[in-house]
């Protein structure tokens, strides 16, 4: 029996050494790949685009970077249908020109998120240029709302790991979307409605626009709202959506 014990012990030790060596080799090989971020994704900044939840909640979000004709009609529709918790991502340059509309958004109960200042693709800018744009938009929105926004949607939804890291340094939560209404293309009211109601479900973040380029959004909104209200969904801000919940994030390479 003693011989058997020693033999099994040595064999176990041998197998353990082989396993550790193989695991170490695999890690070294994996680190050499571009996908190394997969090993560290829990440590890196991520962009939120939805949450995992069984609660019937959806976050409607509206991007505004220019124009003065569409925002107020959209706010009127939301108010009429008693939807007072959505998130408006607004650019600093637009906010400077339309402080009254910014005030209306807040008074109606909606949330303000940051959409940058100059509305340029961050992935095409140098780090210093991105930081200056973030600082400028943050200052403007802070002055107008008396609160520093905590949510940031990079202009045009354009970001990579570098942009995410910079936004994290400014203590921003980067917000993307899981459902795109495509309303900025003005494909027709019915198409916008279909793009949303056929794809959105519990925990989704829906992209809509309130810039003047989105000429059909206000007309599409009533049907979208009524569809989900009939199914007992609640519309919430992005902050409420992600608070205390498990978020869905995507790897950025």
> Which candidate in 63, 133, 183, 204 is catalytic?
63
The sign of the torsion formed by the CA atoms of 193, 195, 198, 201 equals: negative
Secondary structure string (H, E, C) spanning the chain: CHHHHHHHHHHHHHHHHHHHHHHHHHHHHHHCCHHHHHHHCCCCCCEEEEEECCCCEEEEEEEECCCCCCHHHHHHHHHHCCCCCCEEEECHHHHHHCHHHHHHHHHCCCEEEECCCCCCCHHHCCHHHHHHHHHHHHHHHHHHHCCCCCEECCHHHCCCHHHHHHHHHCCCEEECCCEECCHHHCCCHHHHHHHHHCCCCCCEEEEEECCCCCCCHHHHHHHHHHHHHHCCCEECCHHHHHCCCEEEECCCC
Q: Which of 98, 110, 176, 209 is catalytic?
A: 209
Active site residue 212: no
Quick check: is 209 catalytic? yes
Q: What does the block give as tokens for 242?
A: 């992600």
The size of the chain, in residues, is 253
Cα 153 to its chain centre, rounded Å, is 6
Active-site positions read 63, 209
């Amino acid at each position: 029996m003693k011989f058997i014990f020693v033999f099994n012990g040595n064999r176990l030790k041998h197998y353990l050494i082989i396993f550790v060596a193989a695991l170490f080799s695999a890690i070294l090989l994996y680190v050499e790949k571009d996908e190394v971020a997969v090993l560290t994704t829990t440590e890196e900044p991520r962009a939120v685009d939805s949450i995992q939840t069984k609660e019937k909640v959806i976050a409607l979000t509206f991007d505004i970077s220019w124009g003065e004709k569409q925002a107020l009609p959209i706010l009127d529709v939301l108010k009429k249908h008693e939807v007072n918790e959505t998130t408006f991502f607004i650019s600093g340059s637009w906010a400077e020109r339309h402080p009254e509309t910014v005030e209306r958004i807040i008074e109606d109960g909606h949330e303000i998120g940051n959409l940058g200042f100059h509305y340029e693709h961050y992935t095409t800018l140098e780090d210093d240029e991105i930081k200056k744009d973030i600082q400028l938009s943050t200052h403007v929105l802070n002055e107008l709302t008396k609160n520093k926004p905590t949510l940031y949607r990079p202009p045009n939804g354009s970001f990579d790991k570098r942009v995410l890291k910079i936004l994290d340094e400014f203590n921003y939560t980067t917000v993307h979307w899981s459902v795109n209404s495509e309303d900025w293309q003005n494909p027709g009211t019915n198409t916008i409605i279909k793009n949303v109601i056929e794809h959105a479900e519990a925990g989704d973040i829906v992209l809509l626009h309130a810039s003047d380029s989105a000429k059909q959004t206000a007309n599409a909104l009533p049907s979208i709202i009524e569809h989900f209200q009939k199914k007992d969904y609640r519309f919430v801000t992005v902050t409420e959506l992600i608070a205390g919940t498990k978020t869905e994030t995507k790897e950025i390479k």
